[in-house]
Amino acid sequence: MSERLRNKTALVTGSTSNIGQAIAEAFAAEGAHVVVSGRDRERGARVVQGIRASGGHADFVAADLDGSAQASQDLAARARAALGGRIDVLVNNAGVYPAAETATTDEKTFDQVYAVNVKAPFFLTAAVAPAMTEWGGGVIINLGSWIARLAVPVGALYSSTKGAMETLTRAWAAEFGPKGVRVNAISPGVILPPAPEGSEPHPGLVMMKGTPAGDVGTPDAIAHAAVWLASDEAAFVHGTVVDVDGGRTGVAVIAA
């Protein structure tokens, strides 16, 4: 690796599996000291062990980001302590996806999804960004989704939260960019989950038929984009949503 993130520190939420794990591992491989965060201590310990076994630097900080300001502030404080006092890169990745139609979504589910997908990253960013400006700069990367712009059935609630995150990305770029903090987002397409789930035919494959890629993506594809956005190579990139979706949202799909 080129160590593009050498001497940097990073907090990646929801990084005990799938996309978050891939981002944490990629950051560590590029030289960053990473805080792996999530609710599952056992999975978190395995991710950290794997990073360390590969020569990287990582620590696990357990957190249940329930949307309260206190939970986000507590994670920010404990992550800073684990990282030696500062967070250079924040990745707001943690999220939940309820597979429910609008008419069958109850208020409790609605509130929970917005709490985890919008309120938690909002208050975590509020707890991290000001300190970044004091240190002279930093990077915030949000995770959006392709279905925020290309609707699918049974996705109204989730896609609306991801649309909110894309809007917050632009708003935070305007708010924090002049103070040295770059804020961008990645919009993943249909991503192949890790094995053993990924060993079976992916149900999302039908959504990728006729696209330029013609297949589902992998968590590593998102991680590569995150490394680029976190690095100095993306120094002139602000308020942008990077589509990593095999062309699903930007190119006409040819019916197969």
Residue 252 covered by a domain: no
Q: Does 255 reside within a domain?
A: no
Kindly state whether residue 235 falls inside one of the protein's structural domains. Answer: yes
How is residue 236 annotated by DSSP? T
Ordered alpha helix ranges (H), the chain: 18-29, 41-53, 69-82, 107-114, 120-135, 156-176, 205-208, 219-230
For residue 1, being part of any structural domain is answered with no
Q: Is residue 238 part of a domain?
A: yes
Say if residues 63 and 13 touch (Cβ distance below 8 Å). Answer: yes
Question: In whole angstroms, what is the distance from residue 120 CA to residue 122 CA?
Answer: 5
Do residues 47 and 36 touch, judged by C-beta distance below 8 A? yes
158 counts as catalytic: yes
pTM: 0.95
CATH code, domain with 62 = 3.40.50.720
Is there a contact between 141 and 173 (Cβ–Cβ < 8 Å)? no
Percent of the chain with pLDDT over 90: 85
Does some domain include residue 208?
Answer: yes
**Of 1, 10, 2, whose CA–CA distance to 57 is shortest?**
10
Give the span between the Cα atoms of 245 and 149, in whole angstroms: 12
Catalytic entry in 27, 60, 146, 158: 158
Q: How far apart are the first and last CA of the chain?
A: 39
pLDDT for position 253: 86
Q: Is residue 253 in a domain?
A: no
State how many domains the chain has. Answer: 1
- Can you count the helices (H) and strands (E) in the chain? 8, 7
Residue 232 has a pLDDT of 97
Which range of residues forms the domain containing residue 101?
9-244
- Of the candidates 1, 3, 12, the one whose C-alpha atom is nearest the C-alpha of residue 140 is 12
* pLDDT tens series, the chain, 256 aa: 679 999 999 999 999 999 999 999 999 999 999 999 999 999 999 999 999 999 999 999 999 999 999 999 999 999 999 999 999 999 999 999 988 899 999 999 999 999 999 999 999 999 999 999 999 999 999 999 999 999 888 899 999 999 999 999 999 999 999 999 999 999 999 998 755 554 566 667 888 888 998 899 999 999 999 999 999 999 999 999 999 999 999 998 887 6
Give residue-wise pLDDT tens across range 84-141: 999 999 999 999 998 889 999 999 999 999 999 999 999 999 999 999 999 999 999 9
CB within 8 A of 169, min separation 6: which ones?
142, 144, 183, 184, 185, 239, 240, 241
Name the residue among 23, 28, 83 with its Cα closest to residue 57.
28
CA 45 to chain centre: 19
Which residue has tokens 């079976």? 200
In a domain, 55, yes or no: yes
3-state secondary structure at position 33 = strand
Look at residues 6, 64, 58, 69 and name the one whose alpha carbon lies nearest to residue 32: 6
